[in-house]
Amino acid sequence: MRVVGGEFRGRRLKTCEGPGYRPATHKVREAVFSMLQARGVEWAGARVVDMFAGSGSLGIECLSRGADEAWFVEKGRKAADLIRSNLKDLGVPAGKYKVLAKDLFTVLSRSPEAPFDLGFIDPPYGKGLLVPALEKALESGWFAEGAFILAEVEAQIQAPAEGPLSELELVTDREYGQTRILLWRN
């Protein structure tokens, strides 16, 4: 897998293999960042959180495009080590990222140092984790007002619109093969 755009464009990323890991395809990452760019995301100064981060490709794309800081939350120790390795190989300064090798719900039980401007959530397919993770993140103040939240889920999943999620504005709902991309604004 290669970085799609920005400073690290074309650089190779190591990816995770095994059950539950499915790195975002080049086509999907291109579409995601095109959507964000079209909606005026300002990379300079942005704080980003990549939940269920896997190889960290989405957060790394943001750093490549100029985000100030990215947090990567990945429970799998091997995957978290891979994210650190990818960041080191790219030469990303240690102060620009934080890799949390912890269960996402444990991390979301506390408020962050400051809310994030952009959040990615790419839960393992078939586990029903999208809604509980989003609700917990919103409840704990993980997203700034006006923040974008992007989910990559199975194509058959519909955008949830009940409970705390009804306060989010759904701006995009697109299918790419077996993947659905949902983009909300807080």
Amino acid at 12: R
The enclosing domain of 37 has a CATH number of 3.40.50.150
Q: What is the pLDDT of residues 170-183, one digit of tens each?
A: 999 999 888 899 99
Output the CA torsion sign for 52, 149, 47, 27.
positive
- pLDDT band per the 50, 70, 90 thresholds, residue 24: low
Residue with tokens 């990549």: 50
Whether 3 maps to a domain, the answer reads no
Give pLDDT, residue 18: 58
The pLDDT > 90 percentage for the chain reads: 69
Which H helix or E strand runs over 72? strand 69-73
Rg (Cα) of the chain, in Å, rounded?
A: 15
* 11 part of a folded domain: no
DSSP characters over 133-167: HHHHHHHTT-EEEEEEEEEEEETTPPPP-SGGGGG
Q: How far apart are CA 8 and CA 61, in angstroms?
A: 8
Query: What Å distances lie between residue 52 and 71, 166, 175, CA to CA?
Result: 11, 23, 20
Higher per-residue pLDDT: 162 or 42: 42
- As a whole number of angstroms, the distance between CA 92 and CA 177 comes to 33
8-state DSSP, 186? -
Task: Report pTM.
Answer: 0.91
pLDDT digits (tens, 9 = 90+) for 83-139: 999 999 999 999 999 999 999 999 999 999 999 999 999 998 889 999 999 999 999
Domain count, the chain: 1
Q: Is the pLDDT of residue 27 over 90?
A: no
Give the amino acid at 104. L
pLDDT at 45 over 80: yes
According to the model, what pLDDT value does residue 158 have? 83
- Region class of 56: left (phi > 0), else alpha (psi between -120 and 50), else beta: left
What's the rounded Cα separation, in Å, for the pair 75 and 164?
25
Q: Report the mean per-residue pLDDT for the chain.
A: 90
Q: Which of 164, 163, 159 is nearest to 184 (CA)?
A: 159
The whole domain housing 137 covers: 26-185
Q: Please say if the pLDDT value at position 10 is more than 90.
A: no
Contact 4, 108 (CB under 8 A): no
Give a yes or no: residue 58 inside a domain.
Answer: yes
**Are the C-beta atoms of residues 141 and 115 closer than 8 Å to each other?**
yes
